[in-house]
Chains A and B, each alone.
Chain A
């Protein structure tokens, strides 16, 4: 179980393989990888900078992980998030969830991403031909979070 905030790139394939390596009781692994796009809001994006709140970012993600573990019977959770300078095509975030059966892993992975998007202190700044611009938060991310208030714990 772990949270890593790092400047260096990570390899999603290696992260995925590591998810079930530790525990033969794991029957299901779900992995989400978020990548940096080269296009946003109609503009070609040439680079990105990710700012965070050192200390709080780790605490917020660890807390989200604990919430997920309370809701579902998870055997392993791994969250990796890049900070600093990124190039288009690079992975930004990895969330892996492992459980005996698939439904807990599917739900927990979506839950962690919805919480991460709205509660972890991270901010994207994009670079394009028009200069640099902070990415604005999306209302749809907030709506995605609210759906978990209406869902009974489902395994």
Chain B
């Protein structure tokens, strides 16, 4: 599974993306988010209430279900336009 981070999250976390072994105990994006935030330190940024996420380049809710080959992204509220 590939995980991407953008904008402020990318800077705070110090990585633009990472590849993670498929973990079948992670059912939803929220499970993945909690696992990442549990790394502690800068990773608690993923607990922000306004966090947005995408699954395979489509906006989605945190209750969306994960699959092994998914491309996941976490990012702060968008500010284009």
Residue in A55, A123, A124 whose beta carbon sits within 8 Å of that of B6 in the complex: A123
Residue in B7, B54, B57, B73 whose beta carbon sits within 8 Å of that of A51 in the complex: B7
Q: Residues on A close to B: CB < 8 A?
A: 34, 50-53, 55-56, 59-60, 81, 92-93, 113, 116-125, 134-137
Q: Is the CB of B81 within 8 A of A137?
A: no
Q: Residues on B close to A: CB < 8 A?
A: 4, 6-8, 10, 50, 54, 57-59, 73, 75-81
Q: Is the CB of B73 within 8 A of A123?
A: no
Query: Which residues in A have their C-beta under 8 angstroms from that of B10?
Result: 51
Query: Which residues in A have their C-beta under 8 angstroms from that of B4?
Result: 53
Q: Is the CB of B57 within 8 A of A120?
A: no
Question: Is chain A's interface secondary structure helix, strand, loop, or mixed overall?
Answer: mixed
Residue in A34, A53, A92, A136 whose beta carbon sits within 8 Å of that of B77 in the complex: A136
